[in-house]
Structure 1
Amino acid sequence: MSVPIFIRYMFSDISMRRFLLPLFLWFSLPLSEIKAQNERIHQLEIANVKALKAFFKYTPDRIPLICGHRGGLKSTSPENALATFELALRKAPLFFEIDPRLTKDSAVVILHDATLDRTTTGTGKLVDYTLEEVRKLKLKDSKGNATSYRVPTIEEVIDWARGKTILMIDKKDVPVEMLYEIIKKNKAESFVLISSYKPEEAVYYHQKDKNLMFEAFIKNEKQMQAYEQAGIPWENIVAYLGQPKDKKLYDQLHQKGVMVMIYTGPVYDKIKDKEQRANSYREIISSGADILLSDRAVEAYEAIKELMPLKSSKRKFFKSR
């Protein structure tokens, strides 16, 4: 069902959009998920960029974190959907990785693939569709079934996340200049991490705004030194290591106050036995990693809860309502 014109008009106003978006998401959910929506929602309460840096600064009493990859509910809900983010946040205190891409008319939407076939009811390349045409498509669930959800714009996701959680913005095909302007225009500096695949990308953003934070690809000591030589302060960095590494690299980054992120999707999320998956999540955290980027975000959170310290300087950032 297409969105009525008056609804689209109201959503074009930023203040009205912030008021109506949660209500719209609630009514768009299947009945089976309404009960979950009535639960208290978890929040990461980050007031400003200083608090964001403090939240991600490694400390011995750190609370292990989970980042939902494309929403983190791959087994049950469409990836990169607003309703998926909302449902996941009601189940666990997460932050979320998102994938910005350009449409034919240079609008920025959140979609992982360059093509539409796998995750939407469309076919072919996203860049061959205008935003208006993309709006008419429906997102598919993990089994390929069409849902009632549509592809969101990056502004809609930012509006949803404000005051609730943190967004980790992957690179994809959006030029760095455009992504920077979107972050500044929407005043999102205090709740975004920008993916940096190489130091030069981080340098571009850092020269424009010294407060911006990065999810920096640091998979070995050489890459760690490259970021240091580029002059990016370690307080602005969360280190993405990909797969589990030698503990020596963890220790080196921790000494700099940097949290370590591991991606569990390619291997650990695919373990068939649930208890074995849970054990793998716990082992990664116990070995020294601080953040799991997971396709099974809520499940990973439940598995590592027992490893979270009861008293921590980070507790002040975790709220629920």
Structure 2
Amino acid sequence: MKIKILVLFFIAAAACAFQRPAAPRLHTIQTGSAQALKAFLKYTPDRLPFICAHRGGPRKGFPENCIPTFENTLAHNPAMLEIDPRYTKDGHIVLMHDPTLDRTTNGQGKVSDHTLAELRQLRLKDTEGHLTDYTIPTLDEALEWAKGKTVLVIDAKDVPVEARAKKVLEHGAQANAIVIAYSIDDIKKCYQVSSDIVMEVMTGKMAHVKQLDESGVPWENIIGFVSHELSPDSAIFREVHQRGSMCILGSSRNYDRQFTSGKITAEALEKGYLSLISYGADVIEADLSIESGAALKPLQTAASSKSKFFRY
């Protein structure tokens, strides 16, 4: 009798395992060390343009700054993932763009007025405002998840650059995370924490480029964010490329916004993304990560020294 019960138990367990949805296959960026990440982000004429998904690539059914959303983005195309850290009341760091909970969760009030345990009870909303079953992740969880999958781009919000850099070191994630630094002082502080950490830095003006030249921080530690605006100065791209760094252009405030508001067609959106590459961009930071990734996909079939970093 006991044997029969055990057999039935194992059959039921096997059936449940068989019915469980399989983990999605992901397009990954394979940078196994800090030096490999620097090599991946180094500008070369044969670079393969790719995207950085703003807030991780949210859309209907998938909230911003959410690990299942990250996986949905990577299920469609390779991407870096821009994320937003904020402190909780008890000193943990969670992923949340706004200082308040109201827009993106079923909670209310400031993130900083709640403990991590309290925030864990909340659920996230998608881009349509619909409540999902997903919960707020911590930066620790995101850094561990990203290993072997992608590169996280960690914005500032209310977390100082030194604290973000130290989190990267704590998790041994120098190969899978970069931090955004908004000032020369922050750039120097981050470099002092670790010369292994790559930073996304504003390079929209020649004055920014010259400041970086004089900062003492090597350009191999830099990827430049040029602009959210259209028709940026092409000379900036040449200058940054000559120093060996890639350039990022944002589409969230131009083509993405025009498309979601119904002002342009899907065909015009695709042409818009390609025009950003023709300006000189190597990476597009996009709200519409799946659409932008699809537009760039034909460009990623070229023979390139960067191909080894992309896997499916």
Is the structural similarity TM-score above 0.5? yes
Q: 1:66-105 alignment to 2 at 5 Å? A: 66-105=51-90
Identity %: 39
Q: Which residue is 1:310 aligned to?
A: 302
Q: Which amino acid aligns with 2:242?
A: Q
Query: Structure 1: which 5+ runs fail to align?
Result: 1-25, 28-33
Alignment partners' CA distance in 1, 2:97 and 2:273: 24
Count of aligned pairs:
287
1:258 to 245, 253, 267: 245
2:33 to 39, 45, 48: 48
SS at 2:28's partner residue? strand
Q: Is the 8 A contact 2:153 2:180 kept in 1?
A: yes
Stretches of 4+ aligned residues off by more than 4 angstroms: none
Deviation of 1:159 (Å):
1.2
Q: Is the 8 A contact 1:193 1:212 kept in 2?
A: yes
Alignment partners' CA distance in 2, 1:298 and 1:231: 38
1:141 aligns with 2:126: yes
Q: Deviations over 1:25-76 (max 9, x none)?
A: x97xxxxxx5xx6553111111101110110000000000100111113344
Q: Which residue is 1:283 aligned to?
A: 275
Q: Is the 8 A contact 1:282 1:307 kept in 2?
A: no
SS at 1:308's partner residue? helix
SS at 2:56's partner residue? coil
Alignment partners' CA distance in 2, 1:285 and 1:74: 24
Aligned CA RMSD, in angstroms, stands at 1.5
Q: Is the 8 A contact 2:251 2:284 kept in 1?
A: yes
Deviation of 1:189 (Å):
1.0
Q: Deviations over 1:59-109 (max 9, x none)?
A: 000000100111113344200111000111111111100000001111100
Alignment partners' CA distance in 1, 2:169 and 2:74: 25
Alignment partners' CA distance in 2, 1:291 and 1:181: 26
Q: Deviations over 1:131-150 (max 9, x none)?
A: 00000000001111110000
Q: 1:198-217 alignment to 2 at 5 Å? A: 198-217=183-202
Q: Deviations over 1:118-166 (max 9, x none)?
A: 0000011111111000000000011111100000000111111111110
Q: Is the 8 A contact 1:120 1:139 kept in 2?
A: yes
Q: Which residue is 2:9 aligned to?
A: none
Alignment partners' CA distance in 2, 1:287 and 1:40: 32
TM-score by length of 2: 0.89
SS at 2:200's partner residue? strand
Q: Is the 8 A contact 2:161 2:179 kept in 1?
A: no
